[in-house]
Amino acid sequence: MLSRSPRDPAALPRLLITLLALLLLWPGLGLSELNLGVLFDGDNARSMGNFLADFWPPAHDGEFLALLGRATLETLAIATAGMSLALLIALPAALLASRALSLSALHRGGRPAWWANLARWPVRGLLIFLRSVPEIVWALLFVRAVGLGPTAGVLAIAITYAGMLGKVYAEIFESVDARPSRALLLAGSGRLSAFAYGVLPNAAGEMLSYTVYRWECAIRASVVMGFVGAGGLGQQIDLSMRMFAGGEVASMLLVFLALVLLADQLSRLLRARLL
């Protein structure tokens, strides 16, 4: 005869946590003024239907396709150039903010001295500041500073993504096995050599995966920033929507979907070849 299964000891805590989450979520729904019923209102549904009907057929004339190709290449250039600048900032900042190569931790059981942690806070604070301001806000500021065009988008992506990449890279450096880098440091190796031979080989996989993912996000961000004048597909979508050219908007959205699929396939290819 099968014995009766014992009661799950974690059932009550899980139930209490679920109830607490619902209690916290309910006021948030009220403050957000979420009302899905407006989507099914007669006038609203008719307006959305008329708006979507203008999307067919997608525009495909030669002059527009040439414009679309240029805007697509501009979007890719904005995302790639912005990520390149972000990497130039993020890598050294991550090394300065990480405890992975701390000399004071070698003889303290892996715990850096208080003054070493204090010295890292300015860099960590800079990374927090860079990523706390959304890229579209930076784009608005740079559009005012350098004018309309892709330069504002490149600088906005570079600043915001430098903060994101620097934070994640520093955490990756600290999460890998510290024994190889500590052995190199104890043997008299320099920090850069200890990083190149003790940390980077173990961290490269996660860094590559996250970097390609962020490049995909940069493509999407460059499209969004185009609505504030930062060039690329987003700026062309904004112009077409203002002229009620739904077919042009549909073509650009299809190209944008293809760009995201391309970035996803590139990420799979790189992980399969290099990891």
Q: Annotate 156-191 with DSSP letters as a single string.
A: HHHHHHHHHHHHHHHHHHHHS--HHHHHHHHTT--H
In a domain, 110, yes or no: yes
Assigned domain for 35 exists? no
Q: Helix (H, G, I), strand (E, B), or coil: what is residue 200?
A: helix
Question: Which amino acid does the sequence have at 8?
Answer: D
Residue with tokens 């860079």: 130
The token pair that represents 29 in the structure block:
């729904």
243 part of a folded domain: yes
Cβ–Cβ under 8 Å, residues 81 and 174: no
What does the longest C-alpha to C-alpha distance in the chain come to? 80
Question: Does a structural domain hold residue 66?
Answer: yes
What letter would DSSP give residue 133? S
* pLDDT score, position 101: 65
pLDDT at 133: 86
Model confidence, pTM: 0.76
To which H or E segment does residue 131 belong? helix 114-132
Q: How many domains does the chain have?
A: 1
User: Is position 36 within any domain?
Assistant: no
Identify whether 4 is part of a domain.
no
The structure tokens listed for 20 are 């607490």
For residue 5, tell me if it sits in a domain. Answer: no
pLDDT of residue 1: 46
Q: Flag whether 165 is in a domain.
A: yes
In whole angstroms, give the CA distance from residue 123 to residue 120. Answer: 6
Residue 125 maps to which CATH number?
1.10.3720.10
Domain span at residue 130?
62-274
First to last CA, the chain: 51
- Please give the angle made by the CA atoms of 140, 155 and 252, to the nearest 5 degrees: 70
Q: Which residues contact 19 (CB under 8 A, 6 or more apart)?
A: none
Q: Closest Cα partner for 140 from 227, 79, 223, 71? A: 227
The CA distance from 160 to 265, in Å, is: 25
| DSSP letter, residue 243 | T
Residues of the chain with pLDDT under 70: 1-10, 33-35, 39, 42, 100-119, 274-275
